[in-house]
C-alpha cells in the first residue's frame, strides 16, 4: 500500500502542495476567493457608511456645532418643549389605540378560521403602501372646509383638522398595521390549544386572554408597540398635511425640525433632530433585544 504513495509522486508533501491543499481545504464550495470576499465586505461597509452612518453622525455634529450650551438652550425653548409634549401626547394616544386594535384584530384573525382572512390582513397592511402625504390628504378631504364632514364640523364648532385630533388620526392611520402585524403571525404559530385547554378548565374568555395568551405574546406586543411608537413619534408627511403648522400648538417634533431648518436655525433644528435620532437608535437596540427574545420563544415552541 505504501508503494502507491511513492508511486504517485505529488503526494509527498512539499511546501507547495501543502499550501495548495490548504487553499482547497478552505474552498468548501460555499465561499469565494479572498479578494472577492474582501471586496464585497468593503463595498457593503462603504455603502452603509455613506448612506446610513454618515447621515446619523451629521445630525449630532450639527446639533453640537456651537457647543453643548447652545444645544441645551435650543432644547429648552418653549417651542421645543411644546413640540416634545405634543409628540408624546400624540404617540401615546395613537399607540394606545393601535395596541388595543392590534390585540383585538390578532385574536380574531389568528385564533379563528373564516373566509376572506387573507384579504382582511391585506386591508390592515394597506397604510404601509400609502404615501404619507396621501395619508394626510384623506383626512383633509373628510374634515377640511370643503370636505365631506367639513360643514357639519363647522356648524358644531368641532376642530379636527389643524388641531390635535387631526394629528392623532393621521398618525393612527400610518401606524395602524404595526401591532397587529407583529402579533398575527406569532399567535397563528402558537395555535389555539393552550387557550382551548384554559377554556375547558373553566376559565372565562378574558381570564384565558390575560393569563394564557398575553404571557405567550408579551414580547411580540412589546415589539409591535416599539415600532408603532417609533413611527408615531417620527411621522412627518401625514402630520404635516393635517397640522396647519400652528406654532406651539400643532407642531410635533419632526414638524418643528422642518420649520427651524427653513428658518436657518440649524443648531436648533438639529438639536430636535438629534432627540429623534436617539429615539431611533434606542428603538433599534430594543428591537434587536426583542428579536432575540422572540427567536428564543420560537425555538422553545419548536422543541
Partner 1 sequence: MNGGLVSALAARRRTLPGFGLTMGLTLSWLSVIILIPLAGLFLKSLELSPEQFWNILTSRRTLNALRVSFGLAFAAACVNLVMGSIVVWALVRYRFPGRRLFDAIVDVPFALPTAVAGVALTALFAEKGWLGAPLAALGLKVAFTPVGIFVAMIFIGIPFVVRTVQPVLQDLDPEIEEAAGSLGASRWQTIIRVILPSLAPALLTGFALAFARAVGEYGSVIFIAGNLPNVSEIAPLLIVIRLSEFRYADATAIAVVMLVVSFVVIFAVNRLQRWAQSRIPAR
Partner 2 sequence: MTIEVKNLVKTFGSFRALDGVDLKVESGELVALLGPSGSGKTTLLRIVAGLDWPDAGEVLINGEDALAQGARERHVGFVFQHYALFRHMTVFENIAFGLRVQPRAVRKDEAAIRARVKELLDLVQLDWLSDRYPSQLSGGQRQRIALARALAIEPRILLLDEPFGALDAKVRKELRKWLRSLHHEINVTSIFVTHDQEEALEVANRVVVMDKGRIEQIGSPDDVYERPASAFVHGFIGESIELPVQVEGGVVRLGDRPLALAADGLAPGASRLFVRRHDMLVGPPGSGAFEAAVQHVRNFGPVQRAEVVLSGGRTIEIDAPRDKELRVGDAIGLEPRRYRIFAG
Query: Which residues bind to partner 2, rule: CB under 8 A?
Result: 1, 4-5, 7-8, 10-11, 17, 20-21, 24-25, 27-29
Q: How far is the CB of 255 from partner 1 (least distance, A)?
A: 8
Of 9 and 116, the one with the shorter C-beta distance to partner 2 is 9
Q: Which is nearer to partner 2, 18 or 145 (CB)?
A: 18
Among 261, 265, 293, 294, binds partner 1 (CB under 8 A): 261
State in angstroms the smallest separation of the CB of 10 from partner 1: 22
Which partner from the list partner 1, partner 2, none does 240 bind, CB cut-off 5 to 8 Å by kind?
Answer: partner 1
Q: Note whether 271 binds partner 1 by CB under 8 A.
A: no
174 binds, among partner 1, partner 2, none (CB under 5 to 8 A by kind): none
- Closer to partner 1 by CB, 176 or 219: give it: 176
Locate cell 406569532: which residue? 186
Alpha carbons 235 and 104: distance in angstroms, whole number = 24
Q: How far is the CB of 98 from partner 1 (least distance, A)?
A: 9
Of the two residues 25 and 35, which places its CB atom closer to partner 2 in the complex?
Answer: 25
Q: Contact region for partner 1 (CB under 8 A) — 1-9, 75-83, 251-259, 293-301? A: 251-259
Residues 77-116 binding partner 1 (CB under 8 A) are 101, 104-105, 107-109, 111-114
Query: Which among 282, 267, 262, 250 has a CA at the least distance from the CA of 168?
Result: 250
Interface segment toward partner 1; rule CB under 8 A; list 3-11, 18-26, 70-78, 268-276: 268-276
Rank residues 32 and 296 by Cβ distance to partner 1 and give the closer one: 32
Beta carbon of residue 280, minimum distance to partner 1 (angstroms, whole number): 4
Q: Terminal CA-to-CA distance of the chain, rounded, Å?
A: 49
| Residue 8 binds which of partner 1, partner 2, none (CB < 5-8 A, kind-dependent) | partner 2
- Using CB atoms within 10 Å of the CB of residue 148, give its burial: 0 to 12 exposed, 13 to 18 middle, 19+ buried: exposed
Nearest distance from residue 159's CB to partner 2, in Å? 57
Contacts with partner 1 in 128-157 (CB under 8 A)? 129-134, 137-142, 144, 146-148
29 or 69: CB nearest partner 1: 29
Out of 32, 189, 249, 263, point to the residue binding partner 1 (CB under 8 A).
32
The C-alpha atoms of residue 170 and residue 243 are separated, in whole angstroms, by 9
C-beta of 8 vs 262, nearer to partner 2: 8
Q: How many binding residues for partner 1 (CB under 8 A)?
A: 96
Residue 49 CA to residue 47 CA, distance in Å, equals: 5
- If DSSP states are collapsed to H, E and C, what string results for the chain? CHHHHHHCCCCCCCHHHHHHHHHHHHCCCCCCCHHHHHHHHHHHHHHHHHHHHHHHHHHHHHHCCCHHHHHHHHHHCHHHHHHHHHHHHHHHHHHHHHHHHHHHHHHHHHHCCCCCHHHHHHHHHHHHHCCHHHHHHHHHHHHCCCCCCHHHHHHCCCCCCCCHHHHHHHHHHHHCHHHHHHHHHHHHHHCCHHHHHHHHCCCCHHHHHHHHHHHHHHHHHHHHHHHHHHHHHHCCHHHHHHHCCCCCCCCCHHHHHHHHHHCCCHHHHHHHHHHHHHHHHHHHHHHHHHHHHHHHHHHHHHC
C-beta of 19: minimal distance to partner 1 in Å? 20
Amino acid at each position: 500500500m505504501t508503494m502507491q504513495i511513492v508511486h504517485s509522486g505529488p503526494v509527498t508533501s512539499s511546501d507547495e502542495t501543502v499550501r495548495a491543499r490548504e487553499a482547497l481545504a478552505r474552498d468548501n464550495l460555499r465561499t469565494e476567493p479572498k479578494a472577492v470576499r474582501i471586496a464585497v465586505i468593503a463595498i457593503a461597509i462603504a455603502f452603509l457608511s455613506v448612506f446610513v452612518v454618515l447621515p446619523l453622525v451629521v445630525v449630532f455634529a450639527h446639533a453640537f456645532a456651537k457647543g453643548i450650551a447652545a444645544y441645551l438652550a435650543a432644547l429648552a425653548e418653549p417651542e421645543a418643549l411644546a413640540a416634545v409634549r405634543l409628540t408624546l401626547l400624540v404617540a401615546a394616544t395613537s399607540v394606545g389605540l393601535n395596541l388595543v386594535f392590534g390585540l383585538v384584530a390578532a385574536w380574531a384573525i389568528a385564533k379563528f378560521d373564516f373566509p376572506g382572512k387573507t384579504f382582511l390582513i391585506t386591508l390592515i397592511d394597506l397604510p404601509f403602501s400609502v404615501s404619507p402625504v396621501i395619508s394626510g390628504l384623506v383626512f383633509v378631504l373628510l374634515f377640511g372646509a370643503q370636505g365631506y364632514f367639513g360643514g357639519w364640523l363647522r356648524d358644531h364648532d368641532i376642530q379636527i383638522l389643524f388641531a390635535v385630533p387631526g394629528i392623532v388620526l393621521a398618525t393612527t392611520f400610518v401606524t395602524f398595521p404595526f401591532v397587529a402585524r407583529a402579533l398575527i403571525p406569532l399567535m397563528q404559530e402558537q395555535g389555539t390549544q393552550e387557550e382551548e385547554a384554559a377554556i375547558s378548565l373553566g376559565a372565562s374568555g378574558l381570564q384565558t386572554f390575560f393569563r394564557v395568551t398575553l404571557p405567550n405574546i408579551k414580547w411580540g406586543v412589546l415589539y409591535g408597540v416599539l415600532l408603532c411608537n417609533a413611527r408615531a413619534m417620527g411621522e412627518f408627511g401625514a402630520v404635516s398635511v393635517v397640522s396647519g403648522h400652528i406654532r406651539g400648538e400643532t407642531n410635533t417634533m419632526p414638524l418643528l425640525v422642518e420649520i427651524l431648518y427653513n428658518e436657518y436655525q440649524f443648531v436648533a433644528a438639529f438639536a430636535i433632530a438629534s432627540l429623534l435620532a436617539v429615539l431611533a437608535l434606542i428603538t433599534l437596540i430594543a428591537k434587536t433585544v426583542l428579536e432575540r427574545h422572540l427567536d428564543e420563544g420560537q425555538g422553545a415552541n419548536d422543541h
